[in-house]
Amino acid sequence: MPLTASAFIATSLDGFIARPNGDIDWLDKMNQLVPTGEDAGYGAFIQTVDALVMGRNSFAKVLSFEFWPYQNLPVYVLSTKGVTIPDHLVGQAECCPLSLKELVKTLEDKGHKHVYVDGGMTIQSFIREGYLNEITLTTVPVLLGQGLPLFGTLPQDIPLTLVASKCYDFGFVQSKYRVREG
């Protein structure tokens, strides 16, 4: 069965996932609007994936958190420069200096069915090379003016189907899209 690759990510209204230096302080601040116990579908989403693929920058950011948020899920870190895997993640996280084609084949050979793709440049390369199947985009009501963009240039248009959309009364808007095949 072919691999499904999904992104689940939050952006500012002007389309940034982080400030130019990678900070997500704005997201932490806006998350204070979210009622206790509400996770905007994240918990349900993460239950459906069996591995993560993330870029080197996102991996570095997650390592700076107080706790590791992905339990025992295998994590494949994309990097050409290489990353140091901390001792507590050896055997769970690995650096993959692979092309996406090789990576997807490796993931399929390992039996993965649904991967969570994270990081702006990583999501962009999955989209560009035709490997992203779904994206759940949570738009947070703040303008940053500058930052790291979620989307980038493309060799051609990528038509999508809107699967679901939801407005939260705390102001977040979440839309799930499926990339149309063919």
Ligand X SMILES: NC(=O)c1ccc[n+]([C@@H]2O[C@H](COP(=O)([O-])OP(=O)(O)OC[C@H]3O[C@@H](n4cnc5c(N)ncnc54)[C@H](OP(=O)(O)O)[C@@H]3O)[C@@H](O)[C@H]2O)c1
Give the binding site for ligand X (CB under 6 A). 9-10, 17-18, 22, 24, 27, 54-58, 61, 78-81, 100, 118-122, 125, 148
Q: How many Å apart are CA 93 and CA 74, to the nearest integer?
A: 6
Which residue, 17 or 182, has its beta carbon nearer to ligand X?
17
Which residue, 1 or 81, has its beta carbon nearer to ligand X?
81
Shortest separation between residue 112's beta carbon and ligand X, angstroms: 17
Sorted by sequence, the CB contacts under 8 Å of residue 11 that are 6+ apart come out as 17, 137, 138, 139, 140, 150
Shortest separation between residue 182's beta carbon and ligand X, angstroms: 23
Q: How many Å apart are CA 15 and CA 143, to the nearest integer?
A: 9
Shortest separation between residue 24's beta carbon and ligand X, angstroms: 5
Which residue, 118 or 134, has its beta carbon nearer to ligand X?
118
Which residue, 100 or 182, has its beta carbon nearer to ligand X?
100
Q: Which two tokens stand for residue 180?
A: 């149309």
Sorted by sequence, the CB contacts under 8 Å of residue 37 that are 6+ apart come out as none
Q: How many Å apart are CA 79 and CA 125, to the nearest integer?
A: 12
User: Is 117 in a helix, a strand, or coil?
Assistant: strand
Q: What is the dihedral of CA 27, 28, 31, 35, to 10 degrees?
A: 170
Shortest separation between residue 83's beta carbon and ligand X, angstroms: 7
Of all residues in the shown chain, the one whose CB is closest to ligand X is 55
Which residue, 1 or 172, has its beta carbon nearer to ligand X?
172
Shortest separation between residue 63's beta carbon and ligand X, angstroms: 11
